[in-house]
Structures are given as C-alpha cells and as structure tokens.
Amino acid sequence: MSVPTVGVIVPCYRYAHVLEGCVASVLDQEGVDVRVLIVDDCSPDDTPAVATRLAAQDPRVEYRRNPENLGLIGPEVADQAALGVPLDAAEILVTNKAIAGKALIDFKDADFVGQVAIHHIERGGAPIPLGIKTTLQRFDVLFVAGMKAGVDKLAALAGRVARPSTSTDLLTLAVGMILGLLIGAVSFPLAGSKVGLGNAGGLLVSGVIVSSVASRLRFFGNTPNAARNVLEDLGLIVFIAIVGINSGAALVTQLSGDVAVKILVAGFVVCSVPPIICWAIGLHMMKINPAILMGGVAGARSHSEPAREAAKEIGSSVPWIGFPVGYAISGVLLTVFGYVAMVMSK
C-alpha cells in the first residue's frame, strides 16, 4: 500500500540551536513519506552548517539559502511588550436587540475582527452549529477568547460578559430546592384523592425552570460540571432509595410469578414501542432532522446517552438541540401520570 507524501517547509533565521530537533521531529512522523525543505534567510549563525549536515545525512532533507536577508523571518526576541499581550476568555450573553438576527459574516468589518476567536455558541443551554452564516439571537451565549481589548469591544456590542468560574452558586441551588418543595406541596383533587407532583416532581420542575433561566442569563446559578455530576448522581440515588423504601415492602408481599411476568412484558412494551413510534412519526410524517429527532427521543425517555452517542457519531452537537424540551415534558408527565396510575389502581 502506498503512503501519502507530505512536504514540510522549515523557514529559519538564526535557529541553528533548534533546527536539528525540529527536522528530526518532522522526519519521525509515521505513516507518511516526508520531504523537508529548509529555507534559510541568510542567517549569520551556524544555521548553514547545521542545515548542510542534515541534508547530507538524509536524502529527504533539502537546504536552500537566500543570498541576502530578505527580512521575511525574524529572530525570537525577549520583548515584554510583545510577550505581555493581555489575553482574555469570556462568555458573552447577547442582549443587544440591534445585532439579533445578524449572521457572523455581517461583522467582518468590525474593529475586533482578528482579535477574538469564537469557540462555540450556546442557545438555550445547548451548543449550536457554528459557521459564518450562523445567525445570532438574543440570549445566545458566545464563548470567546482573544485579546482583552477585542473581547471587551465584542462584549460592549453584543451585551454582557459572564466570566467562567469554578465555584458553585449555593444560593441559587438553595432557592431552587425551596421552590421545588413548594411546587411539590401543591395538589389537586382527582377521583376522591389528591394528586400532586410531590417533592421529587417539584424538584424536577424547579430544576428545569432554574437551569433554563440560568443558561440564558449566565449571571447566577453557576455550577461546574464536577459539582453538577455529583448532584445528579446523588439525586438519582436518593430518589431511587426513597421509592424503594416507600414501596418495596408492599411490592414484595404482592409480587407473584404471574405478576412479575406481566411487569416484565409491560415494561418491555412501554420502553420499546413508544420510541419507535415517535421516531417513525417524526422522521416520515413531520420530516424532522434525524439528529435533532434523536435528541428529542432521548429526552423523552429521560436518557441522555443516545443523544451523547449520536453527537459523538456525527461529530456535531446538533442532537442536543432536541433533548431539553423532550426531557422536561416527559419528566413532568411521568411524575403526574404515575400518581394518576396509583389512584386508578385503588
């Protein structure tokens, strides 16, 4: 099998002390046929001797020297003004109505162009595809890095800056938990009984509300990924433990072989059939983009892994666009109809 040929140009000026290591690192690349061209801008140091020796040792190396210095390559300098350029990274919340609806290419003549790089853009807490025709909307979050002056200019034009932080906003977390408990305490009569979301359902709704607002405003509710993962895992474990403690003893006393088989069959049908029907309707009747549809179906099942695998497979964050709404709606409906099912079974 033939291997691809790659040509590498190494321009240098007074780089004799690093030239040999540079060329060696290029020649050590595996899986390609490498050719190296050393272009010397008439260096006054030992560059000609080092380059000539490297070319003589390996036929893949070629050396060319300009007869006079053309000023195309300069030496490294210990200039504090050049090395001390202030850099910055920030999350910029788009609040300016004047730029809403504009594509990124419309800012090609702005004075911060060339000073700032946009890493990615989030909308509603989910990343969106990034390109020169990407249109900005209010409450989009721009993740940028670059020269501090350029970042400040973009922030002044777009809206407000939210600096990334590793600390957790415990006040917002506490307010969200109180709100969830209050929502869970609300109940309404149904068939002679009272039905409500309960503490678990109330906390779920509160979490959706707080996270939705925080993902858009970015000025409160900061929770690093590590802290968020701990809270998610701890909340799930505690929820399962509470359900098991409250229902486990009664379920075991009533569970028989026939009931176990019925639960197994019903669980298989309920978990397998609705996603297939949802996928078929969304893809063939509603003509939804398959990537977005995958995220929506995953959210409806309250399971993020399919969306994560789909995003990894296609190399894009598009599947996450459909995940949040499906997750929020399914979580609320699941909690409500769980209580309805218990009332109807009595």
Q: What is the pLDDT of residues 200-218, one digit of tens each?
A: 667 767 766 766 666 555 5
Provide the mean pLDDT of the chain.
78
User: What pLDDT, on the 0 to 100 scale, is given for residue 213?
Assistant: 66
Which two tokens mark 66?
């300009």
Helices (H), 104-224: 148-158, 170-185, 198-217
Closest CA to 52 of 68, 66, 40, 70: 40
User: What pLDDT, on the 0 to 100 scale, is given for residue 49?
Assistant: 93
**pLDDT over 90 (residue 82):** no
**pLDDT over 60 (residue 346):** no
User: What pLDDT, on the 0 to 100 scale, is given for residue 293?
Assistant: 86
User: What pLDDT, on the 0 to 100 scale, is given for residue 98?
Assistant: 86
Q: Average pLDDT in the 318-346 region? A: 71
Q: Average pLDDT in the 268-279 region? A: 86
Order of strands across the sheet that contains 61-65:
5-12, 33-40, 61-65
Q: Average pLDDT in the 98-117 region? A: 86
The region, left, alpha or beta by phi > 0 then psi within -120 to 50, assigned to residue 39 is beta
Q: Average pLDDT in the 331-341 region? A: 68
Residue 61's pLDDT band (boundaries 50, 70, 90)? very high
CATH number for region 85-162: 3.30.70.1450
Which two tokens mark 262?
């019925």
- pLDDT higher at 219 or 36: 36
Assess contact for 195 and 336: CB atoms under 8 A: yes
**pLDDT over 70 (residue 23):** yes
User: What pLDDT, on the 0 to 100 scale, is given for residue 75?
Assistant: 62
Q: Average pLDDT in the 264-290 region? A: 86
Q: Average pLDDT in the 106-115 region? A: 85
Strands 159-162 and 116-123: unpaired
Closest CA to 41 of 75, 8, 17: 75
Taking the complete model, does pTM exceed 0.75, yes or no?
no
Where are the chain's structural domains? 5-65, 85-162, 255-346
**pLDDT over 80 (residue 121):** yes
Residue 52's pLDDT band (boundaries 50, 70, 90)? very high
User: What pLDDT, on the 0 to 100 scale, is given for residue 36?
Assistant: 93
Residue 240's pLDDT band (boundaries 50, 70, 90)? low
Query: What is the SS3 assignment for 78?
Result: coil
Residue 243's pLDDT band (boundaries 50, 70, 90)? low
User: What pLDDT, on the 0 to 100 scale, is given for residue 317?
Assistant: 73
Assess contact for 9 and 39: CB atoms under 8 A: yes
User: What pLDDT, on the 0 to 100 scale, is given for residue 291?
Assistant: 84
**pLDDT-wise least confident of 18-32, 71-85, 315-329:** 71-85
